Amino acid sequence: MANEVCLNQESCKPEQFWGLLALGGLVVLGAMYAFFTLEHHGHVLTGMNNQIVWGLPHVFAVFLIVAASGVLNVASIGSVFGKKLYKARAPLSGMLALSMLAGGLAVLVLDLGRPDRLVVAMTYYNFKSIFAWNMIFYNGFFAIVGLYLITLMNRNLKAYSGTVGLIAFLWRIALTTATGSIFGFLVARVGYNSALMAPMFIIMSFAYGLASFLLVQSAMYKWNGLLLDERILSRMKNLLGVFIAASLYFTVVFHLTNLYFAKQWAFERFILLDGGVYTNVFWIGQILIGGVFPLLLLFSPGTRKSIGMILLASLLVIIGGLAQMFVTIVGGQAFPLVMFPGFVESSSFYDGVVHAYSPTIWEFLLGMGGVGIAFFLTVAAVRAFKFLPQDDFHSLESKDA
């Protein structure tokens, strides 16, 4: 089958490869233009302000980081839990995880004020800051997953892939915990401060990552003129359904927990009922598009065996994930700060005011740049190395993969 993989062969449709690379490059160039424009003119060109300092680029960035952790779960199921079906997909899973993390972190560079400060952030750490811990986890993720890929693709090192895979699995759990804790530890924001943020981000990463992997895997097979066995896709879609249901469960638990405390009632009313765009995005984007509709597509008798419907469900999960990040990140900042709990304060600085936010085209270009970087790196990597799975389905059936 390796000889049939078009994007891996110089003589097999090179124009297709260059076309895909150019498409990703155009998106990245648009992001670079937005980046340098904002560097020159400042954040005044964005919809962000002193009240909402994390906007649409952060929605894309955090989604890509969380999904990067989750997409590695495909490799972990193979290496850690010994499922042969997923083990064949471990190289593609690891490569996609690195590409998505690179794309997500690239979007965040603008937050540093000066890009060269990235070196400072990577070399000097304040261990009392969750942001510093995240830098450690991000750097470690690149190193560990890179080593994991080497053990997977080098026959002489394959014996170590299980051990390194276990380390990568534990590291990605810690990384997603730290990412969720960025919000969970922000006690000043009533919409963030919750111990449920970390486990909720972990289960969300499973759903986002698997949905992203299914789309990328199917696209790579299509572009290479290969046929993905529908039985393999069917097994993976069942797992995706479990992750979607678990994400919805944690969302319900999170909001029910908030409703248990009287001090959280105002925030819950804001998100669930009176928040305008945030309420609409929550119910329509996060719950319906990202949760209910994908479950119906995956398990309804008329659609559960359709490859097209499975891929549509995966796309809806990604759209719902972006909606969830928007509600969590931007909606949590839009709700007024409680400066002195239990006291009444008065000033001319936005007391009790829901903060307005309207993203601009510059923010969208910058956020899409992260997706473009992940796309560009993935296409180039699949061209240079044999990342596409090589399946022997009869063998998989006999071993109960």
Q: Which ranges in 291-360 belong to alpha helices (H)?
A: 293-299, 307-326, 332-334
pLDDT value of position 223:
79
Taking alpha carbons only, the member of 86, 365, 71, 77 closest to residue 215 is 71
In a domain, 30, yes or no: yes
**Structural domain total, the chain:** 1
CATH of the domain at 188: 1.20.1630.10
pLDDT value of position 172:
92
Compute and round to an integer the Cα radius of gyration of the chain. Answer: 22
pLDDT value of position 343:
63
pLDDT value of position 401:
44
pLDDT value of position 14:
66
pTM of the model: 0.89
In a domain, 398, yes or no: no
In a domain, 26, yes or no: yes
In this structure, are residues 208 and 201 in contact, taking their beta carbons and an 8 Å threshold?
no
Q: Which residues of the chain have pLDDT under 70?
A: 1-14, 112-114, 188, 339-352, 390-401
In a domain, 399, yes or no: no
In a domain, 4, yes or no: no
pLDDT value of position 7:
45
3-state secondary structure of 177: helix
pLDDT value of position 86:
79
pLDDT value of position 210:
94
Q: Can you tell me the distance from the alpha carbon of 233 to that of 211, in angstroms, rounded to the nearest whole number?
A: 11
The residue range of the domain holding 89 is 14-338+354-387
In this structure, are residues 32 and 109 in contact, taking their beta carbons and an 8 Å threshold?
no
pLDDT value of position 11:
41
Q: For 385, which DSSP code?
A: S
In a domain, 38, yes or no: yes
In this structure, are residues 322 and 281 in contact, taking their beta carbons and an 8 Å threshold?
no
In a domain, 392, yes or no: no
In a domain, 343, yes or no: no
